Amino acid sequence: MSKVKGPLRPDEYPDRFMDCQEALAAKFHDLLDGAIEAGWSEHEVLAAVIEMADNRALAHDANSELQQLLVSVKRSS
């Protein structure tokens, strides 16, 4: 399995978001093509990927909020 190319630098830089998209593109297209070959429609696959990404983002936000709350509670103790 090939690795995803990492960012050019560890800090922020102007094209970082575009570099991330380019790094993910091949694997993303392989995922889509594999699901379509398995019998799913392109619309179903894209909707599923969007839903999964949205759920992951929501979970990340919830975890971040919980971590901030825990830090606040520990400071108050």
Q: What is the pLDDT of residues 3-61, one digit of tens each?
A: 999 999 999 999 999 999 999 999 999 999 999 999 999 999 999 999 999 999 999 88
> Are 21 and 38 in contact, with CB atoms under 8 Å apart?
no
pLDDT at residue 21, as a whole number: 97
Q: Could you state, in order of their start, the residue ranges of all structural domains in the chain?
A: 16-76
Task: Give the angle subtended at the CA of 52 by the CAs of 44 and 65, to the nearest 5°.
Answer: 155
State the Cα–Cα distance between residues 15 and 10, nearest whole angstrom: 13
> Is pLDDT at 1 greater than 70 in this prediction?
no
> Is pLDDT at 77 greater than 80 in this prediction?
no
> Is pLDDT at 69 greater than 80 in this prediction?
no
Residue 72 banded pLDDT, cuts 50, 70, 90:
confident
Q: Which of 39, 22, 27 is nearest to 3 (CA)?
A: 27
